[in-house]
Amino acid sequence: MKRGALAALLLVVACSSGKAEKRREAPPPPPCGSATFEGSALTHCTAVPGRHTVHMVLGPMDGAPYRSLSQLAVGRPDKAHEVAFAMNGGMFDDAGQPIGYYVEEGERRHKLNRNEGQGNFHMLPNGVFYGDAGGHWAVLASDDFAAKVSKRPDFGTQSGPMLVIAGKLHPRIDADGQSLKLRNGVGVDAQGRAHFVISDEPISFGKLARYFRDALHCPNALFLDGSVSSLWDPHMGRVDGGPPLGPLIVVEKRAKAKP
């Protein structure tokens, strides 16, 4: 091969390699986006193992609960990892303290609550969203959690009711009940991704549950709250306000995302 032809060939190879490298380095899509299901507007955020870490946050160390996502935003430590998104997550009392299982950074602050009672939390079975810093996340009904999970997770929050249990809708949830509220929930799919959904308009329990089952294919999904449901999405500049909150789920970007 002549020298000129060889040089041209090497140039083509180098350019092709550079283009491939640029394709590999393309940034991932934003974690939150708009969705529509059965005519209702939702926001759907996804935490991906290897790309994100999940943490429970109640308030600053040795301080009172933040009670809002805006207070969480201004109270973040200077060296904290970048927030991908955050959402309220878990039932709480008038002081903002959790009333069910709650673990923050490996410290259990409230035991599992399997008491019967009134309200959404006690529409049994309720459940637990939990996981570790390595990116292994799950949702289980509370009785299953008690029977199967012996090692304390790095984070955990109990809420209720369950929306989807082993691929089936909660037996006490109507297909489309008359109670329509802003609602949010979380589910984990077969690939281990955690899906967080918040409605942008009032919807029923049944519609939210079907979205997790039919659109996101989550075998287990957990209701997080209603009426107070809130999202912090830094990419879109969204910080919801409203009534005081309790436990907060914070999804951070890893310092260096794994491929």
- pLDDT tens digit sequence for 19-49: 544 456 677 889 999 999 999 999 999 999 9
Cis peptide before 125 (omega within 30 of 0): yes
Residue 255: C-alpha distances to residues 99, 157, 221 (Å): 33, 25, 28
DSSP-based three-state secondary structure for 108: strand
Report yes or no on 23 lying in a domain: no
Distance of CA 186 to the CA centre of its chain: 5
Residue 148 has pLDDT above 70, yes or no: yes
Residue 132: count of CB within 10 angstroms of its CB: 16
Give dist(CA 228, CA 67) in Å, integer.
Answer: 11
Percent of the chain whose pLDDT exceeds 70? 89
pLDDT band at 69 (very low <50, low <70, confident <90, very high): very high
Q: What does the alpha-carbon distance between residue 186 and residue 196 come to, in Å, rounded to a whole number?
A: 5
Q: How far apart are CA 129 and CA 141, in angstroms?
A: 9
132 in Cβ contact with 153 (< 8 Å): yes
> What pLDDT does 64 receive?
93
Residue 120 falls within a domain, yes or no?
A: yes
Q: Computed over its alpha carbons, how large is the radius of gyration of the chain?
A: 21
Residue 26 Cα distances to 85, 191, 193, 251, angstroms:
20, 22, 20, 21
119 part of a folded domain = yes
Residue 2 is assigned to a structural domain of this protein? no
Please report which confidence band the pLDDT of residue 257 belongs to, taking 50, 70 and 90 as the band edges.
Answer: very low
Q: What is the mean pLDDT of residues 85-90?
A: 97
Segment 67-74 mean pLDDT:
96
Residue 165 lies in a domain: yes
Is 103:55 a contact under the CB 8 Å cutoff?
Answer: no
Rounded Cα gap, residues 216 and 163, in angstroms: 13
Asked if 200 and 208 count as a contact pair (C-beta separation under 8 A), the reply is no
| Residue pair 100/113 in contact by the 8 Å Cβ criterion | yes
The answer to whether position 184 is within a domain reads yes
Domain housing 47: 29-253
Q: Dihedrals φ, ψ of 87, to 5°?
A: -150, 150
Mean pLDDT of 221-232: 96
pTM: 0.88
Does 4 reside within a domain?
Answer: no
Structural domain count of the chain: 1
H runs (alpha helix) in 94-214: 142-148, 205-210
pLDDT range class, residue 151, cuts 50, 70, 90: very high
Helix, strand or coil, per DSSP, at residue 202: coil
Q: Which two tokens stand for residue 28?
A: 């991932």
DSSP single-letter state for residue 115: -
Asked if residue 195 belongs to a domain, the reply is yes
The backbone torsions φ and ψ at residue 241, rounded to the nearest 5 degrees and listed phi first, read -110, -175
Q: What are the residues whose beta carbons fall under 8 Å from the beta carbon of 259, sequence distance 6 or more?
A: 50
